[in-house]
Amino acid sequence: MHWVWLGFFAVWLFILSGLEITQRKKFDHTQTRPGVIQALQLKSLLKQREEKLTALEANIDELSRDRDLFLSDPTVQEHEIRKTLGYTRKNEIVFDFNPYQ
């Protein structure tokens, strides 16, 4: 009797995993329905991708604000030029405390 239950459980697990459907209709993706395990995996993957998308959208917004400041604000431009290229104003004294130069 326990073999019947074991067989029933094996068939149920096989259907639950969705392997039967994906193997039978491997090339026909229009009618394939994933099993519960695959649905949970896809839901987890979707959540991860949405979180990554949100982070990337926030990064894009921050970079857009920085770009707008660089294009429109002369003080931001001057600050970046001084920091990156080491430019100074006329009659300005620069104290460099970097011991490696």
For residues 52 and 95, the model is more confident at: 52
pLDDT digits (tens, 9 = 90+) for 13-72: 777 666 555 455 555 554 555 566 677 788 889 999 999 999 999 999 999 999 999 999
pLDDT at residue 77 is higher than 80: yes
| Cβ contact 29:41 at 8 Å | no
Query: What are the sequence ranges of the domains in the chain?
Result: 2-26+35-85
Contacts of 21 (CB under 8 A, 6+ apart): 32, 33, 34, 35
